[in-house]
Amino acid sequence: MFDATATHSPLQRSTGHASVTMGPRGLVDLAQSGSAKAMLPRVTSGPAEVVFLNTSGGLAAGDRLDFSLALGAATRAIATTQTAERAYRADQPARSHVTLRVAQHGWLDWLPQETILFDGARLQRSTTIDLAKGAGCMLLEMIVLGRQAMGERLCQLHLRDRRMVRQQGRIIHHDALALDDASLPRLAGPAMLNGARALATLAIIATDAGDLLTRARAVLDESGVSATASAPPGRLILRLLAQDGWPLRRQINRLLAALRPDPLPRVWQV
């Protein structure tokens, strides 16, 4: 029997913040709270690795997740996420913010694993990278619009996703994606995603990034993936579409192997 006088507790929201500061000799500072954590796997060679994770198991209505990483002068590092992030059906947006800073002559590979959007997901996310003079970065974003193997189909969605890179305070790269209920039926069109369910953008920000264009195009031949590459001044931009997340991941793995001197992050399942 329904009791109209009963009180209802509000749903519990997940919040978390993880912040890491690295220098040429390793960890300088680490702070974490709530569902956001950071791990630093031991590496015997190559740049340091920072692995961020969300212990809540995914992003739901009203959740807030913040990751930040600062690299000191002449410091190189790879940052990634422990697993694919999942955004679930929600009646209000979940919010995720990534703030990355690279000091003079430093380098960061920001290589998060894919974000899987479930039907009805509402997500607002931003990634901001601040580069000092002589610093550079690689920036990856992969999104899967429902898992094909599970027969998932998106009918409702609210996504606001923005990536911005500043160098010495000046915006040099700005990439934004907005998807909602009204746009979903049009995604199958040739001017949109052409029916693709998985998409990715890989950007390299460096003065000599254009020198990698030929090398990138040479490996853009994964079956089931369509891709293009361009090299505006100081950048290399690659955009990729696939029917499912697995061929997209295979193509990304091949690109990273061709464009980077270091192995893939160890937490990636390859």
Specify the pLDDT at position 43. Answer: 83
Give me the mean pLDDT over the 115-127 stretch.
Answer: 96
Q: How confident is the model at residue 2 (pLDDT cuts 50, 70, 90)?
A: very low
pLDDT tens per residue across span 240-258 = 999 999 999 999 999 999 9
For the chain, percent of residues with pLDDT exceeding 90 = 80
d(CA 270, CA 267): 9
151 confidence band (pLDDT: 50, 70, 90):
low
- What three-state secondary structure class fits 197? coil
CA distance 229 to 258: 14
Supply the pLDDT for residue 133. Answer: 97
Per cent of the chain over pLDDT 70 is 93
**Is the CA virtual torsion 127, 260, 249, 19 positive or negative?**
negative
CA distance 156 to 181: 5
Whole-model pTM: value is 0.92
Instruction: List, for residues 175-216, the tens digit of each pLDDT value.
Output: 999 999 888 878 777 767 887 899 999 999 999 999 999 999
Structure tokens, 163: 């990536």
Structure tokens at 87: 């955004």
Query: What number of helices (H) and strands (E) belong to the chain?
Result: 2, 17
Q: φ, ψ for residue 86 (rounded to 5)?
A: -125, 135
**Picking from 38-47, 64-73, 198-207, 247-256, which range would have the lowest pLDDT averaged per residue?**
38-47
